[in-house]
Chain A
Amino acid sequence: MKRVLCLLSVAFGINSILYQRGIYPAETFTRVTQYDMSLQLTTDAMLKNYLTNVISQLKEWLFDCTVQKLVVVITCLETNEVLERWQFDIECDKTAKESSAPREKSIKAIQEEIRSVIRQITATVTFLPLLETACAFDLLIYTDKDLEVPEQWEESGPQLIDQSEEVRLRSFTTTIHKVKSMVAYKRTNST
């Protein structure tokens, strides 16, 4: 249950990033109430399909504790430059995987932390520079080197930003995973 929470939070986080940054038009999102918060979920079929693919694979890897980071990369289509990187560092407590005894952290506390992370994502819109050109996003996963790459996946570069500013956001912990979030954006010339 708590692992699933971690995944759900990641999915909602990605959706809220896409909605807030305007990668897809706001009309393609519907409002959903969860964790006592209203969250925006996409209705675009292709996007949903893509997200379910990634998240189902991520679930496996989370279970095996082979995932190190999950990155949402936003690139400008005209110039092919990376404009923003939302990075989620996942630290896995491997010992907890084997023991089946329930830990002490309550589900409510975890939900509260996830809520605060999503609120923080919404709040970061105030200081992030505007995305004026048409943009597309990509999901990168940092895994252990010896992991077997499944069929539809391929290796890629880290897609770093040239001249970036970084901001650390809140982290939240389930009993098994600790997720640290941060956002890096391209420094604009006016700043």
Chain B
Amino acid sequence: MDDMEDDTTIFSTLKSFKSLISCPDRSLLETEPAYGRSDLQKLYTKRVELEEAAERVRSHTSMLQLTQEKQQMELSHKRARIELEKEAHSSTRDLQREIDRNRELLLKIRRLEEREEKANQALNEQTENNKVLKRNLEELHKKANEKDRKLTEADQMISELNDETRRLNQKIQIQESKFSTQNLEIQALQEQLDVQRKKYQDVSQRYHNLQSSHSISTESELKMKELERRLALQEQDSVIVKNMKSEMARLPELEREIKRLREENTFLRETKENNSLLKEETEGLRRKLERVERVMEEKLKAELEKEKLEQELQAWENIGQAAGLNISIRSVEKARAELLPEIAQLRAKAQEEQKKRENQDSLVRRLQKRVLLLTKERDGMRAILESYDSELATSEYSPQLMLRVKEAEDMLQKVQAHNTEMETQLSKAQEEAGTFKLQVQMVTSELEALKEQQVSNTEKNVLATAEEVSSLRQKIEELETERQQLEEQNNILEMRLERHNLQGDYDPVKTKVIHLQMNPTSIAKQQRAEDVEQLRLECQLLRDRIRKIEAGGGVTTDDTTLIIPPSQEILDLRKQMESAELKNQRLKEVFQKKIQEFRTACYVLTGYQIDITMENQYRLTSVYAEHMEDSLLFKSTGPVGSGSMQLLETDFSRTLTGLVDLHLFHQKSIPVFLSAVTIELFSRQTVT
């Protein structure tokens, strides 16, 4: 470095020196061009010396430089050698490493080859996936388009709904204003209602007072009439009472007569009872008589039977004595013995009954005597009574008297009761009459006072009251009509209020409606709005995608199908297809032409037109056929391509039976047959 610094200083000094040289040269040259050449030569020599010095310096410096460079080169050479050795070492190491790396890289290469294969497979799969994805893309595009449609529709719907909401809001406002006006009207009507109700109440009170006073006056009139009727009745009753009093005077005498009659009545009743008892006894006695008579008859009969039985006994005893039948006698005796007590009983009964009959006869006689006596007494009593009746100047019998007595007693009782009632009624009526008289006096005094009042007022007041009454009545009628109308309106308003209440209306002055901020409806609406936003974003994204695809080269037809630019393979395949189709068409044309030529050639050469009617059937028509329908049918039998044919029967073939027999059956050659047929036809044609 020091050498370098020395070099630099040397260079710098050289430069400065050169500059010095150059400057003075110039200056010398410029300023003193006219000076003599001696100066110039001196200068020149100086310069040359300087230049030589400079060159020496330069050479010295170059020498120094070279030596330095040499030293440096040697150093560098040494260094380079060292470095080369190092590098050789390192390169050997690197070589080894690289060999290792090579091996590793080979391994990697193998793996990579394997991976390549896998990647190829994956590529294939991915191509397939790509195709699938392309299809999906197409479908998605379709869906996107549909969504687009739906979104446009939704947008339209939303705009329509917005319009509707505006209209509805307007309607709501109008209805609210109407409602407020109606509320005001309702309040005004209610106030009017109250006023009218007060008036109505006043009027109704006055009316009630008037009605009460009217009713009181009518009641008083009615009471007056009733009192007058009662007075008339009471006068009648008083007359009756007087009559009754006169009749009452006769009472004591009647009571005495009544006592006597009662005693006689009791006596007669006892006699009646005795009579009845006697009658019953007579009846009993009669029955007993009858029974006794019957018993007597039976007794007679029994005596007759007894005589008969005694006769029989005697007979039997005779027979018994004759025949010597002791047993029969004993039985007869037994029977006789049995009969004897019965006979005794009967006799006792008959005696008893005879005694009874005698008693009863005696009783009967006594009773008859008593009856006679009683009848006589009765007659006497009747005579007495008749005499009594005659005394009383009445010619009626006792039962009617008794009735009259009873009637008189009843009448007495009724009269007494009636008297008491009448007395009480009299007292009450007198009291009521007194009160009514007082009331009547009060009412009359009031009426007179009212009349005086009316009279005290002028005639106009009378008219005025009449007018007032009429006007009041008119007012009452008007108020009633108003009341009815107001009631109807009230009902209608109440119905409306009820309806509104049912619908959920409320009075904003008294109530308010609150709900939770986070309620399900608001949450649902938010979600819906978010869904709509998301759909819109999706739509926009899809639309952008579609635009990009269109820009990429697709053609949109009807906004529904998006034709992605077909790939090269598809274009090649299409071209191949077209070429193949063209080839096919050409081949077909060529085939047809060839077939036509062949057929015409066959027809011309062989003389037969061969058509295939059905699968294995061939129809031959000759050139020289007389009719168009003349044809031969051949059917190929056996496997296809073997060539064995059979002739089928046709109308034409029936005409050629000879040829058929000869050529087909015997010679078994179809070409010969066919040629024979042509010859035959040709001959026919030329001949005919």
Contacts and interface: CB of A to CB of B under 8 A. Distances in A.
A95 interface: no
A104 interface: no
Given A168-B502, A184-B504, A144 B516 contact: no
A73 interface: yes
A162 B7 CA distance: 111
A184 B517 contact: no
Given A50-B519, A137-B520, A162-B168, A80 B514 contact: no
Interface in A146-171: 147, 149, 152-162, 164, 166, 168
A149 to B, nearest CB: 6
B519 A139 contact: yes
B176 to A, nearest CB: 11
A140 B515 contact: yes
B524 A153 contact: no
A141 B515 contact: yes
B514 A154 contact: yes
Nearest to B165: A80
A144 B499 contact: no
Given A77-B524, A168-B502, A140 B514 contact: yes
- Could you say which of A79, A142, A149 has the most chain B C-beta atoms within 10 Å of its C-beta? A142
Interface stretch (B28-36, B186-194, B505-513): B505-513
A90 B215 CA distance: 51
A44 to B, nearest CB: 10
B101 interface: no
B514 A141 contact: yes
Given A47-B520, A137-B521, A143 B514 contact: yes
Interface residues of B, number: 29
B457 to A, nearest CB: 57
Interface string A58-85: 0000000000110101010101100001
A136 interface: yes
Contacts of A54: 516
Contact of B516 (A153, A168, A184): A153
Interface string A173-191: 0000000001010000000
Contacts of B165: 80
A73 B525 CA distance: 14
A184 B502 contact: yes
Q: Main SS of the interface on chain A? A: strand
B520 A50 contact: yes
Nearest to B528: A77
A79 B517 CA distance: 21
B524 A136 contact: yes
B161 interface: yes
A53 interface: yes
B525 A136 contact: yes
Contacts of B510: 144-145
A157 B518 contact: no
A87 interface: yes
A182 B502 contact: yes
A36 interface: no
Which size bracket describes the interface of A in this complex? 35 or more
Nearest to A162: B168
A50 B516 CA distance: 9
A87 B502 contact: yes
A79 B161 CA distance: 7
B521 A73 contact: yes
A158 B506 contact: yes
Given A77-B524, A77-B528, A158 B504 contact: yes
A138 interface: yes
Contact of B515 (A79, A156, A162, A166): A156
A138 B513 contact: no
Interface in B160-206: 161, 165, 168
Contacts of A68: 506, 511
B503 interface: yes
Nearest to B164: A79
A87 B255 CA distance: 96
A131 to B, nearest CB: 14
A158 B172 CA distance: 12
B511 A153 contact: no
B511 A143 contact: yes
Contacts of B501: 89
Contacts of B519: 50, 138-139
Interface of B: 161, 165, 168, 499, 501-506, 508-525, 528
Q: Which 10 A-B pairs have the closest CB atoms?
A: A136-B524, A166-B502, A138-B521, A136-B521, A138-B519, A140-B515, A153-B514, A142-B511, A136-B520, A156-B515
17 contacts: A50-B520, A71-B513, A73-B521, A75-B521, A79-B161, A138-B515, A139-B515, A144-B510, A144-B511, A153-B514, A154-B515, A155-B514, A158-B504, A160-B503, A160-B504, A161-B504, A182-B502
Interface of A: 46-47, 50, 53-54, 68-69, 71, 73, 75, 77, 79-80, 85, 87, 89, 134, 136-145, 147, 149, 152-162, 164, 166, 168, 182, 184
